[in-house]
Structure 1
Amino acid sequence: MSVINTEAEVLLDLKDVVAGYGNLTALHGVSLNVKQGEVVALLGANGAGKSTTLRTISGLIKPSAGSLRWKGASIVGNAPEKILRLGVSHCPEERHVWPEMTVAENVELGGYLLKSKTELQRRKDIAFHRFPRLKERAGQLAGTLSGGEQQMLAIARALMSEPTLLVLDEPSLGLSPKMAFEVFDVVREINSHGVSILLVEQNVHNALSVASRAYVLETGRVIAEKSSESLLNDPDLLSAYLGG
């Protein structure tokens, strides 16, 4: 579990964000922040608005109201590519690797903004050092990997932009407990190198094992913000909103 640093710089700050899809409003005034070096969990039942929050942060959805700031500057209306350049990388739910491309080609896609082939190779070398299993399978088609390996690949690809903030959506979805444990070990390792992480995760105990604090969403509203330790010691809240 990462430690809360009250003096750290606020990287990401959402205030009263309203967003949705067409006429459907999914977020009703969401406020949250992530500080430098933190792991923050975003928890809630299916349909609570967790993934919509992440898509709004990464520019895939434009909010209809509220403010969204990165290091103090508004990023409302910024294209996803610009937000990526600022240092926010989104690793989506269900991984979305390209099955007919090799592992190496999938990793390289994460560096598509890079102009230098030397820099692309340097970052790819780092990715393969961090994920030796992917290095072993570099020439293998991504679609032939196990679910856990595909998740590792999706994270490796997201890290190719060397983000300040990694936005992770359901990294353990569909994985065995053993593989989920490995994925969360990777999350800890990434954070230990100074990368801040905003994490959506259905498994509350996995999420709180790495996060310093968490926000709980219900039907597009933040209903609680607590340290991970406080949340783990609040059985009524866990049972009412997070399924125990």
Structure 2
Amino acid sequence: MSNAVMKPEAQTAATAPDEVLLELRDLHVSYGKTAALHGVSLSVRAGEVVALIGANGAGKSTTLRTISGLLKPTRGEIVYQGRSIAGLAADRVVAQGIAQSPEERHVWPTMTVYENLSMGAYLCKSSTEVDRRVGMVYHRFPRLKERHRQLAGTLSGGEQQMLAIGRALMSEPRLLLLDEPSLGLSPRMAEEVFEFVREINEHGVTVVLVEQNVHNALSVASRVYVYETGRVVAARDAAGLADDPELLSAYLGA
């Protein structure tokens, strides 16, 4: 496995093992008049992989979109590195060290692989630095380097997922939000993606993961929050949840 992994600029000093990097406090979010989150509270320690799991429509992706500034909470707090970021615009959230790889990838299909990656570093003003970061992504995802000038819309689903994650890493985040990274992928490609999640985590990137495939989520997560209809109904160590078939069956149908 490669040792050349993009490292977050914000994490130059040793991380305190119990540092709470992200905390949600009584978070409420609505789509118009429809409530989507009902008082979600959770915490993420620096260096963890935390998975949010639950049935479709339970509020997992809404949580990520709210953290990243794409949705505004109607009530509650989002505290990152000890500072409130609730309601910040998405570009300001990225500047704080948080990046998201969205569900269904959302690459720009008529732009090349290189152009898509460059868009992930839009806050970086140095073209030399942008190229350095692109090179780091190519080192980890050689297939993207092979398709450097290929239009993103012509890539396979797995390659588009690599591109979406690579684009998120171009901002060199301290916290990476991954929304359904295995969606639509073959088992082999999904395994490759989750191996990369392990690798970037080992090199200092904290990860919050939404994943419909419970077994994939438990394979990389240290802790898990279980959602049901916009609420967190359980919090477990990943190993403990794997050994709790009643909970899995009750909330996930697993």
The TM-score with structure 2 as length reference comes to 0.93
| Offset at residue 77 of structure 1 (A) | 1.5
| Offset at residue 192 of structure 1 (A) | 1.1
Deviation by residue 1:145-193 (Cα, 9 ceiling, x = unmatched): 1101100000000000000000000000011111111110111111111
Pairing 1:91–2:96 present? no
| Offset at residue 33 of structure 1 (A) | 1.1
Pairing 1:49–2:59 present? yes
Query: Which aligned pairs between 1:128-139 and structure 2 lie closer than 5 A?
Result: 128-139=138-149
Conserved? CA contact 1:20–1:52, under 8 Å? no
Partner of 2:152: 142
Structure 1 residue runs without a partner (length 5+): none
Query: Which aligned pairs between 1:8-87 and structure 2 lie closer than 5 A?
Result: 8-87=18-97
| Offset at residue 8 of structure 1 (A) | 2.3
- How many Å separate the matches in 2 of 1:225 and 1:98? 36
Partner of 2:213: 203
Partner of 1:237: 247
Residue 227 of structure 2 aligns with an amino acid whose one-letter code is L
Residue 79 of structure 1 aligns with an amino acid whose one-letter code is A
Partner of 2:124: 114
Partner of 1:173: 183
The TM-score with structure 1 as length reference comes to 0.96
| Offset at residue 7 of structure 1 (A) | 3.7
Deviation by residue 1:109-157 (Cα, 9 ceiling, x = unmatched): 1011111111111111111111111001111111111101100000000
SS in 1 for 2:18: coil
Runs of 4+ in 1 over 4 A off after TM superposition: none
Which of 203, 222, 227 is residue 193 of structure 1 equivalent to? Answer: 203
Count of residues paired in the alignment: 240
Partner of 2:4: none
| Offset at residue 6 of structure 1 (A) | 9.3
Deviation by residue 1:210-243 (Cα, 9 ceiling, x = unmatched): 0001000000000000000000000001111112
- How many Å separate the matches in 2 of 1:146 and 1:215? 31
Conserved? CA contact 1:110–1:158, under 8 Å? yes
Which of 213, 218, 232 is residue 222 of structure 1 equivalent to? Answer: 232
